[in-house]
Amino acid sequence: MKHNDMELMICLASRYLEDNSIVVVGTGAPCAAAMLAQRVYSPRLMIMFEAGGIGPLLPSMPISVGDSRTFYRALAASSMPEVMETCQRGLVDYTFLGGAQIDQYGNINSTMIGTDYKKPKVRLPGSGGANDLASLCWKTMMITPQDPKRFTEKIDFITSPGYLTGPGAREEAGLPPGSGPYKVITNLCVIGFDEETRRMKVESTHPGIEKEKIIENTGFELLWDDNLTISDPPSDEELRCLREEVDPYKYIIGRA
């Protein structure tokens, strides 16, 4: 079946969410990835929402983290403090974050563009719970288009910490050892992080995407996995589920 870039990114992200793991998601593509994973791969995946929904069986795509659907057949209708406390206790495996800029160490900016905080060129939505999630969840993932303005050498503001300045920096800042950025899934490739340098390392390229195109759309030097592979395209079952059950009105997959 033919697919668009958004469908490819969602399907690839869903495959990383193992059964019996816990993921905190917002709305949009991350929520679609979690819903798809729960239906196809990981029936015991526990989904959590920042506003307090814990373990819902989502009947359809919610439009906000406080949507009543985020509590449908849930284990608990709790609160933001309880969700954040669960992250602080080290119980949450995955989270998805987004932003306007990301650097080679996975630091994310969703606060401002410019050099003057009081008078920025662009004022962005800010952190919300993103800093807490990036700091306290074990693995952070990102689903995003790839271009040199977004993937930049130096971000204008660190809203959500990745590996900060490199090896050991998260631990020195008091963040949980072993936590940090995990995967960045773009319209061009899947990127992981090198264990020694903590820099972005391309693990797979999407079908038909040349290495040169990825380099052109990145504002810093990428590392490349020695066993670089081609991303597996969405299966017919993934696409059927995504289109018919997860996002039948194309709120998300129609954005491509």
Q: Give the three-class secondary structure for 161.
A: coil
Long-range contacts of 226-233 (CB under 8 A, 24+ apart): 228/202, 228/203, 228/204, 229/203, 229/204, 229/205, 230/204, 230/205, 230/206, 231/8, 231/12, 231/189, 231/190, 231/204, 231/205, 231/206, 231/207, 232/12, 233/3, 233/8, 233/11, 233/207
Mean pLDDT of 196-225: 98
State pLDDT tens for residues 111-163. 999 999 999 999 999 999 999 999 999 999 999 999 999 999 999 999 999 99
pLDDT, averaged across the chain: 96
Of the residues 7, 18, 50, 172, only one is catalytic, namely 50
Q: Residue 255's pLDDT band (boundaries 50, 70, 90)?
A: confident
What's the confidence (pLDDT) of residue 183? 98
State pLDDT tens for residues 6-63. 999 999 999 999 999 999 999 899 999 999 999 999 999 999 999 999 999 999 999 9
Strands 53-54 and 112-113: unpaired
Strands 122-123 and 112-113: antiparallel
Q: Residue 246's pLDDT band (boundaries 50, 70, 90)?
A: very high
Distances in Å between the Cα of 253 and the Cα atoms of 154, 213, 242 are 30, 23, 8
Percent of the chain exceeding pLDDT 90 equals 97
What's the confidence (pLDDT) of residue 256? 59
Which one, of 153, 142, 229, lies nearest residue 187 by Cα? 142
The answer to whether the CB of 207 falls within 8 A of the CB of 229 is no
What's the confidence (pLDDT) of residue 139? 98
Full-model pTM: 0.95
Residues 122, 115: Cα–Cα separation, whole Å: 10
Q: Is 60 exposed, middle or buried (0-12, 13-18, 19+ CB in 10 A)?
A: middle
Cβ neighbours, 10 Å, residue 113:
16
* Domains observed in the chain: 5-249 (3.40.1080.10)
Question: Which comes out higher in pLDDT, residue 256 or 70?
Answer: 70
Mean pLDDT of 85-96: 97
Query: Is 90 exceeded by the pLDDT of residue 1?
Result: no
Strands 108-109 and 101-102: antiparallel
Residues 191, 139: Cα–Cα separation, whole Å: 14
Residues 65, 91: Cα–Cα separation, whole Å: 20
Distances in Å between the Cα of 148 and the Cα atoms of 153, 189, 216 are 9, 14, 7
Q: Is 196 a catalytic residue?
A: no
